[in-house]
Amino acid sequence: MLSSAIKYLKKWKGAHLKFRHIDERFLEKFKEYLLTTTSLKSKHTKLNQNSAASYYDKLALIVQSAFLDKYLSEDYTQRVPHISNVETFQQIIDDEELKLLLDNPVEDELVFRSSIFALLTGFRFSALKILKWGDFHYSTSLDAWYVYIIDPKPERSFKHYISHQALHILGGKQDGDKLVFPDLNYHHVRAKLKEWFSKVGLEKKAKFHNWRHKYATDLIEKGEDIYIVSKMLNHKHVKTTQIYAKVPDTNRARAAGKAIINHLN
């Protein structure tokens, strides 16, 4: 995430930024840039506000550290409000919608298998692109499969346990060190997802990252501890995972059914 923030900073100001350039106005301008620029993945897609908020926060941490190390005379972040996160849960796929998608699968095996594997594991698209068969390992004592990779987005090692069902979707473990999803292309997958989701009236939810959202919310709904969910998503801080910890509708509906007074007619 930090490297992504630096990439946007370089895209905006170039590679020769100095500490003397940083002040309150600089931070305000960087906020404005993040809220109006396009994604590095696609020049046709606007950077979403939650990503902008995350990237600004990473720069703010650098500025705060620079102040503590006396590279800056003032902590300018104290006078510049952070970018607020926005509610995104209206885009989460619910169980009925998932059934619709599974009953009407996309006619592209690579897109379908990578999507369902992401749904069952919570992997980001960037992780699936680099995933190799040699990354799969089996624990005899736990009777469990796990994947060990350098997760591209946080750029750190990640030991991630997966279900037997997830491996079954791939047709079982293969030998060698080839890519699990060869020729996985973001633009191709994005186009096919739009076709697939539009076919069942869900075009607004046609985002690959929604498989990861569904994975996380399902774990929360099934009562999994948020700390464990955070580790399963390879989040550095539990705070990042808390967006999934809002009480799900299924849990609230179940609670409403318990609010019954037996003596009422």
Question: Strand, coil or helix: what is 137?
Answer: strand
pLDDT by position in tens, the chain (length 265): 557 888 899 999 888 888 889 999 999 999 999 999 998 878 888 998 888 998 999 999 999 999 999 999 999 999 999 998 776 555 789 999 999 999 999 999 999 999 999 999 999 999 999 999 999 999 999 999 999 999 988 788 999 999 999 999 999 999 999 999 999 999 999 999 999 999 999 999 999 999 999 999 999 888 899 999 999 999 888 877 877 776 556 666 666 666 666 656 5
* CATH architecture, range 90-251: Orthogonal Bundle (1.10)
Please state, in angstroms and rounded to a whole number, the distance separating the CA atoms of residues 228 and 122: 13
| Per-residue confidence (pLDDT) for residue 89, from 0 to 100 | 53
Neighbours of 162 (CB within 10 A): 20
Q: Residue written as tokens 């985002």?
A: 207
| Per-residue confidence (pLDDT) for residue 248, from 0 to 100 | 57
Please state, in angstroms and rounded to a whole number, the distance separating the CA atoms of residues 106 and 154: 30
Q: Using an 8 Å Cβ cutoff, are 229 and 219 in contact?
A: yes
Q: What are phi and psi of 137, to 5 degrees?
A: -140, 155
| Per-residue confidence (pLDDT) for residue 1, from 0 to 100 | 52
| Per-residue confidence (pLDDT) for residue 249, from 0 to 100 | 62
| Per-residue confidence (pLDDT) for residue 88, from 0 to 100 | 56
Q: From 24, 50, 193, 45, select the one nearest 108 (Cα to Cα).
A: 193
E strands, 114-171, where? 136-139, 144-151, 156-162
Q: Are strands 136-139 and 156-162 parallel, antiparallel or unpaired?
A: unpaired
Task: List Cα–Cα distances, 96 to 99, 133, 149, 208, 218, in angstroms.
Answer: 5, 33, 33, 18, 13
pTM of the complete model beyond 0.75: no
What tokens were used for 16? Answer: 């020769």
Domain residue ranges of the chain, discontinuous segments joined by +: 2-79, 90-251
Question: Strand, coil or helix: what is 136?
Answer: strand
Please state, in angstroms and rounded to a whole number, the distance separating the CA atoms of residues 227 and 225: 5
